[in-house]
Amino acid sequence: MSSNDLSSPVQYIKGVGPQRARLLARLGIKTVRDALFYLPYRYEDRSSIKKIVHLRPEGLHTVTGKVLKADVITPNPKRQKFKIFEVVVSDGSGILKAKWFNQTYLKKLFSTGQQVVLYGMVKYNYRGTGFEIINPEYEILDENENEEANPSASGIHTGRIVPIYRSTEGLSQRQLRNIIYSVVGSSAIHVSDPMPLEIIKPYNLPDLQESLSNIHFPSASSASGGLEDLNRGTSPYHQRLAFDELFTLQIGLAVIKKGEVLEKGIAFSPDERLINRLLDKLPFKLTGAQEKVFRDILKDMRSPVPMNRLIQGDVGSGKTVVALMSMLAAVECGYQAALMAPTEILAEQHYINIHRLVEDLGLKIHLLTGSKRNKEIEVIASGDADIVIGTHALIQEGVSFKKLGLIVIDEQHRFGVMQRAILRKKGINPDTLIMTATPIPRTLALTLYGDLDYSVIDELPPNRSPIITKLFSEKNKNHIYTLIEEETKKGRQVYVVYPLIEESEKTDLRSAITGAEGLQKIFPHLRAGLIHGRMKPVEREDVMKEFKNGNIHILVSTTVIEVGVDVPNATLMVIIHAERFGLAQLHQLRGRVGRGSNQSYCILLNYGGSEDSRKRLEVMVETTDGFRIAEEDLNIRGPGEFFGTRQSGMPDLKVANLLRDAKILEMARKEAFSLIERDSSLAGYPQIRKSIEDLWGKRLELFKTA
Ligand code: ADP
Ligand code: MG
């Protein structure tokens, strides 16, 4: 093989045989390129060399000196097997003993007269009379670099900022570092930079080869920016690699978007007659933000390009009405409209709410969920349903619409780029509106929904006073009863929410039931109701109705009520085992109160007790800003888990971090979209095409043929 073939197997790297190749494969390193892009996860500064005379114990230090003595000793004659390899070095300022336990093979490497660099923990010796360095990392300098003046010139493991990699059993940090050192030395210069200079240059980013070399083995000059930048992944070299990765990601999204734009959609021309009737009926005026967003939507709907728009709006910002108005616009033009929710419960709740709002507009509304199918499917296919509300069942095989014009996807985070592509592949090409109640940090929105246009409802309806949130521990649990008493005395209503986590669903449910019974006993003069996911939809609906019209004062529930429930008279939300919820979910739950003009409260009962869970929950007390909460949640859980990126079909990112690299993401996005504008097939950029294939794999194929 030639050393410039980056796709050659690692086995051909110097020092790698079949066995090490197998170990490397466990780390995902199969080719020379993989090794080059296998980045350190942290760095240690072993570059500042201390004079032995200046050493102080209890700390990691680097020293360099000449070997005076190197011996294996047996400190305890009764334990012949216990051996210590000892080296004594001198740097002219003093003498230091280095000790390695049970590593007698080192004897073969060290000999007197060598110049060495040692890095390790400095401690008092056994007698407390001097210092020694224990199990240090070591470097034996070449003859010709035997000068104290320049010990870092050949350092791999010491005398420099040293990379630390995630390794695997059987492959030591030192071995792995040696392998990568050799790969960087021989192959980094053969990496050809896929990024055109005109894109990279304005951002002052270093070139790719330089970045790869320095990200592994920062040169003394490059490290001047600091160990911290390297460790945070914000060094210029990290930024360069992150830029490439995010650029490639965004190019993929730009390609998808371009494909969507080229498709033919419906040009609606609604006369807004149904919409105006709805508006007349509403007990409130739309907020400016709702107006504006609805105009964005209408503009999209009127154009023949299929709409793909994301609507972001915090809990309670009034997305439902906007969605409904959009659906009415489609219905006015003789099309069907569908609203898809991720769970049956949510679908039912939307059905109840929307049904109530449009009952007397003479429209036919249907509910389609997994458990309620056959009859409904016929109705939908026959066109005898104007608005269909349902779950994923809506896009499953066997469901066909007579004339579907608009699909609204609510609470979309489990419904990503891929699912939308599937929808189009079914041959349905309706306008699509995606609603999210979970505020998505802009950086994530740009990535996960980077092919979408988006609008934000950035204003809450007037007369809402901020909810007061308090964190309770088990100790002050009883105070909750006082609060319930106080609120209900004022004629207000209360939610008490229990977690429902799949693994322990039975016990969870039991505790919700017990909770309801308990509250009923404590408050015999009030009525406590119970609602959970195991109940039949009609039963649930009955309980909800009773709560809505005030006949139930305390509603105990599982997370059923997370989204969609709307009872403005409810002013107290108590969340039991708050530590078992994600922050974004707590934010949704809290959003069930504070919907009227009365002061509302949210009590988070933390049974966790741990410092971590308390800190996490503190965020809820500090802010009601959904964006901040989402960002915090993202920090804690990582984007993959937060939004299920894996299910959503987005490529995994190796270098870039969407939170940390938000600025780079914006730059990369701008450049990527403008490049696709200039050269939509990337005919002039074969290298970029190749990078896209590497990152996106087959996923992009789906879009090409869609
Ligand atoms: P979300 O955005 O969380 O889905 P909803 O659509 O459920 O919010 O609306 C929250 C509450 O605010 C509902 O009671 C709704 O009727 C009410 N609402 C919506 N828009 C307005 C408005 N412009 N003025 C007053 N109340 C509004
Ligand atoms: Mg909603």
Pull the structure tokens for residue 381. Answer: 């296919």
Closest CA to 620 of 498, 495, 473, 469: 469
- Answer yes or no: is 118 within a domain: yes
Phi, psi of 453 (to 5 degrees): -85, 155
| Residue the block writes with tokens 């004897």 | 107
Ligand 1 atom having least distance to the Cα of 568: 14
Cβ–ligand 1 contact at 290 (below 6 Å): yes
Per DSSP, 372 falls in state B
How far apart are alpha carbons 243 and 668 in whole angstroms?
6
- Are 401 and 478 in the same domain? no
Instruction: Looking at the structure, tell me whether residues 280 and 422 fall in a common domain.
Output: yes
pLDDT of residue 148: 41
Predicted confidence at residue 690, as pLDDT, reads: 83
Q: Is the pTM of this model over 0.95?
A: no
CA of 245 to the centre of ligand 1 (A): 40
- DSSP assignment of 612-637: HHHHHHHHHHH---HHHHHHHHHHHH
Answer yes or no: is pLDDT of 169 > 50: yes
Considering the domain architecture, whether residues 451 and 511 belong to the same structural domain is answered as: no
Greater pLDDT, 605 or 450: 605
Is there a domain that residue 629 lies in?
no
DSSP alpha helices (H): ranges in 523-605?
Answer: 537-548, 583-590
Structural domain includes residue 236:
no
Question: How many CB atoms neighbour CB 422 within 10 A?
Answer: 13
Tell me if 595 sits within 8 A of 465, measured CB to CB: no
Please report where in the chains the tokens 């390129």 appear, as a residue.
33
pLDDT higher than threshold 70 for residue 643? no
Residues 444 and 477 in one domain: no
* Cα(424)–Cα(420) distance, integer angstroms: 6
Identify the bridge partners of residue 72 per DSSP, sorted by sequence position.
Answer: 85
pLDDT over 90, % of the chain:
37
Closest to 500 measured CA to CA, from 567, 548, 556, 546: 556
What span, in angstroms and rounded, lies between the C-alpha atoms of 490 and 468? 17
Which of 595, 598, 624, when mutated, tests ligand 1's pocket best, judged by the most ligand atoms within 8 Å of its CB?
595
Whether residue 636 has its Cβ less than 6 Å from ligand 1:
no
Per-residue pLDDT at 149? 39
Of 390, 424, 457, which residue constitutes the final position of a domain?
457
Picking from 398, 426, 457, the residue at the C-terminal end of a domain is 457
Q: How far is the CA of 170 from the centre of ligand 1 (A)?
A: 59
Residue nearest atom 14 of ligand 1, based on CA coordinates: 566
Position 121, amino acid? M
Residue 443, CA distances (Å) to 439, 469, 639, 667 in order: 11, 28, 11, 11
Task: Say whether pLDDT at 3 is over 80.
Answer: no
H or E element that contains 309: strand 308-313
Q: Which residue out of 279, 282, 284 has the highest number of ligand 1 atoms within 8 Å of its CB and is therefore the one to mutate?
A: 284
Return the structure tokens found at 86.
Answer: 């000892």
> If pLDDT is split at 50, 70 and 90, which confidence band does 2 have?
very low
Q: Given CA atoms 589, 593, 594, 599 in this order, what sign does their dihedral have?
A: negative
> Do the domain assignments include residue 304?
yes
Neighbours of 66 (CB within 10 A): 16
- Comparing 167 with 67, the larger pLDDT belongs to 67
How far apart are the C-alpha atoms of 423 and 430, rounded to whole Å?
9
Tell me the residue range of the domain where 509 lies.
468-623
Q: Counting Cβ atoms within 10 Å, is residue 584 exposed (0-12), middle (13-18) or buried (19+)?
A: buried
Query: What is the rounded distance in angstroms from the CA atom of residue 151 to the CA atom of residue 118?
Result: 11
Report the distance separating Cα 72 and Cα 392, nearest Å.
70
Residue 333 in domain = yes
Among residues 425, 457, 489, the one where a domain terminates is 457
State the Cα–Cα distance between residues 69 and 101, nearest whole angstrom: 17
Question: Which pair of structure tokens corresponds to residue 411?
Answer: 């609470």
Q: Is the CB of 313 under 6 A from ligand 1?
A: yes
377 contacts 401 by C-beta, under 8 angstroms: no
| CA dist., res. 71 & res. 127, Å (int) | 20
For ligand 1, pick from 278, 548, 566 the residue to mutate: most ligand atoms within 8 Å of CB: 566
The answer to whether 125 and 132 have CB atoms below 8 angstroms apart is yes
Beta-bridge mates of residue 317: none
Domain count, the chain: 3
CATH code of the domain in which 514 resides: 3.40.50.300
Q: pLDDT tens across 482-529, in order?
A: 999 999 999 999 999 998 755 566 677 678 888 899 999 999 999 999
Residue nearest to atom 23 of ligand 1 (CA): 286
Answer whether residue 262 is part of any domain: no
Q: Among all ligands shown, which has an atom nearest to the Cα of 311?
A: 1
pLDDT digits (tens, 9 = 90+) for 59-70: 888 898 999 999
Residues 301 and 153 in one domain: no
Do residues 418 and 350 share a domain?
yes
For position 646, what pLDDT does the model report?
Answer: 44
CATH number at residue 126: 2.40.50.140
- Coil, strand or helix: which one is 594? coil
Mean pLDDT of the region 27-54: 90
286 CB within 6 A, ligand 1 = yes
Q: Give the mutation target among 282, 294, 320 for probing the ligand 1 site: most ligand atoms within 8 A of CB.
A: 320
Give yes or no for residue 284 CB within 6 A of ligand 1. yes
List 557's β-bridge partners, or say none.
497, 531
Together in a domain, 588 and 486: yes
Mean pLDDT of all residues belonging to the chain: 84
Residue 25 C-beta-side C-alpha neighbours within 13 Å: 8
Residue nearest to atom 19 of ligand 1 (CA): 318
pLDDT tens, residue by residue, 432-488: 898 887 666 766 777 767 778 888 898 888 877 789 999 998 888 889 999 999 999
- 447 and 516 in a single domain? The answer is no
The amino acid that residue 54 corresponds to is: H
In this structure, the strands spanning 84-90 and 95-101 are antiparallel
Specify the DSSP element, H or E, that contains 390. Answer: strand 387-390
Q: Is 288 found in the same domain as 145?
A: no
- Distance between Cα 35 and ligand 2 center (Å): 47
CB 85 within 8 Å of CB 131: no
Are both 590 and 617 inside the same structural domain?
yes
Decide the pairing of beta strands 42-45 and 161-164: antiparallel
Is there a single domain that holds both residue 312 and residue 426?
Answer: yes
Pair 472, 448 in one domain: no
Q: Assess whether the C-beta atom of 321 lies below 6 angstroms from ligand 1.
A: yes
Q: What is the spatial distance between Cα 149 and Cα 155, in angstroms, rounded to a whole number? A: 13
Per the listing, tokens 């919700």 go with 512
Question: What's the whole-number mean pLDDT along residues 552-565?
Answer: 77
pLDDT digit string (tens) for 340-388? Answer: 887 777 788 788 888 888 888 989 999 987 765 677 777 777 778 899 9
Phi-psi region of 233 (alpha: psi -120 to 50; beta: other; left: phi over 0): left
Q: To 10 degrees, what angle do helices 537-548 and 344-358 make? A: 50
Is ligand 1 within 6 A of the CB of residue 439? Answer: no
Q: For ligand 1, atom 26, name the residue with the nearest CA.
A: 461
Q: Which of 551, 397, 421 is nearest to 488 (CA)?
A: 551
Q: Are 479 and 603 in contact (CB under 8 A)?
A: no
Question: Residue 441: inside a domain, yes or no?
Answer: yes
Asked whether residue 165 is assigned to any structural domain, the reply reads no
Give dist(CA 255, CA 247) in Å, integer.
12
- Using the atom order of ligand 1, give the atom closest to the CA of residue 457: 2
Mutate to test the pocket of ligand 1, among 292, 317, 408, 600 (most ligand atoms within 8 A of CB): 317
> Is any ligand 1 atom within 6 A of the Cβ of residue 356?
no
- Cβ of 706 below 6 Å from ligand 1: no
Q: Residue 17 and residue 23: Cα distance in Å, rounded?
A: 10
